[in-house]
Amino acid sequence: MDTGDTGFMIICAVLVLLMTPGLGLFYGGLGRRKNVVNNIMASMFMIAVGTILWVLVGFSLTFGEDHGGVIGSLEYVMFTGVDVAPGDNAPTIPFVIYAMFQMMFAILTPALLTGAIAGRMNFKALFLFAIGWSLIVYYPIAHMVWGGGFLASIGSIDFAGGNVVHISSGISGLVLCTMLGKRLGYDQVSYRVHNIPMVALGATMLLVGWFGFNAGSACAANGLAAHAFATTAVAAAAAELMWMILDMVTNKKPTLVGACTGIVAGLVAITPGCGYVPLWAALIIGLTASPICYWAISFLKRKLGYDDALDAFGCHGIGGIWGGICTGLFASQAVNPSIMCNGLVFGDVALFGVQIVAILVSIAWAGIGTFIIGKLVNLVVPLRVSERDEKVGLDVTQHGERAYPSFNGLDD
């Protein structure tokens, strides 16, 4: 056991946890004034639900002995055998620290998809949905990728969660927002960002936490963690700069919301390959992520007519897919010798092929699983709030609270 690695991983776990309230502020600022509390709560309650589920069965179903290539066993139920002794997954740190680090991913991921359904989902339904989604979508995909399941067995790679976190949440957000339908007046009302400083604060917390997210996925304070840290910084910076350029080209002014969105797009796209691709490739990934996500948010959403309220699919779904493709293009054994072969740009085809398979499997599993869970939850409690509740706002109707109790003007 290494005390340096242990300390490093504890810090990284805390940084990943920081991302969940950061996401709440990011979504809270992007949404409408009357839904701020609900948007933040949609992230914050995941800390409680995600933690309890993970300890009860989540870690076991994800990292327990493989069953059928899609799910783990129940050997670690209630953290049985998860103690301070090192485990096979990370031999230089306590097994319980590895489990805690992975738990932070399980907390954050279902929170990500709530951006797609902001402003109209019944909180009781969201509570039940988060439980079902973790059990049916997140744990199986995480097991298939990281727990020795099917996707790991064919050689696909996902360093910090392109498939597990971003594709799963982005696709699920798209399916769920389609099931809910558009917000009232979506085609007539201009939905404006209500608190830009809150967006910037949330994005900053996400950026800081993401270094723990990506560098910590090396599971040790080593050169690979340093490389993941560097690629993360480069991709985020490149994507932010590119989004500002896109704002200048289309709107003649750079926007703070656009810069923050660009940072998130770059972070999403580099996540699956941060520990596999060279630093120069991280620059390309960041520069290309912003135009692709920008296109999805500004054109694809309008063209297809779905109401992805805070662009969870546009950033996480599209960005995650692009990141997985780029990992298959640019992954290098010189950076990480553990991979089956080099990426497509280095002349090998096999890795690129299995990356495409992994992306398609993740899309199908998340999409079908979300549809099934949504239908089941709707049998118990309506997925969507009433028209009156939506007009009044979810802060008051779902939580009995107001983010700005002294405000008496008309809501935007």
The CATH number of whichever domain residue 376 belongs to comes to 1.10.3430.10
Residue 84, Cβ neighbours under 10 Å: how many?
Answer: 11
Q: How does residue 344 score in pLDDT terms, banded at 50, 70 and 90?
A: very high
Average pLDDT, the chain: 96
- Determine the structural domain holding residue 386 and report its residue range: 3-396
Has residue 402 been placed in a domain? no
- Average pLDDT for 25-45: 97
Has residue 64 been placed in a domain? yes
Has residue 48 been placed in a domain? yes
pLDDT in tens, 398-407: 999 999 987 6
> Which pLDDT belongs to residue 119?
96
Query: Is the pLDDT score of 410 beyond 70?
Result: no
- Average pLDDT for 23-35: 97
- Average pLDDT for 159-181: 98
What is the total residue count of the chain?
412
**Domains: count for the chain:** 1
Query: Is the pLDDT score of 412 beyond 90?
Result: no
CA distances from 220 to 7, 101, 198, 233 (A): 9, 12, 33, 19
Has residue 109 been placed in a domain? yes
Q: How does residue 408 score in pLDDT terms, banded at 50, 70 and 90?
A: low
Has residue 405 been placed in a domain? no
Query: Is the pLDDT score of 201 beyond 90?
Result: yes
- Which DSSP state fits 221? S
- Compute the distance between CA of residue 170 and CA of residue 236 in angstroms, rounded to an integer: 19
Has residue 256 been placed in a domain? yes
- Compute the distance between CA of residue 136 and CA of residue 86 in angstroms, rounded to an integer: 29
Has residue 239 been placed in a domain? yes
Has residue 178 been placed in a domain? yes
> Which pLDDT belongs to residue 406?
73
> Which pLDDT belongs to residue 236?
98
> Which pLDDT belongs to residue 95?
97
Q: How does residue 211 score in pLDDT terms, banded at 50, 70 and 90?
A: very high
What single string gives the DSSP state of each residue in 290-312? HHHHHHIIIIIHHHHT---TT-H
The predicted model scores a pTM of 0.96
CA distances from 186 to 191, 223, 350 (A): 8, 49, 44
- Average pLDDT for 323-351: 97
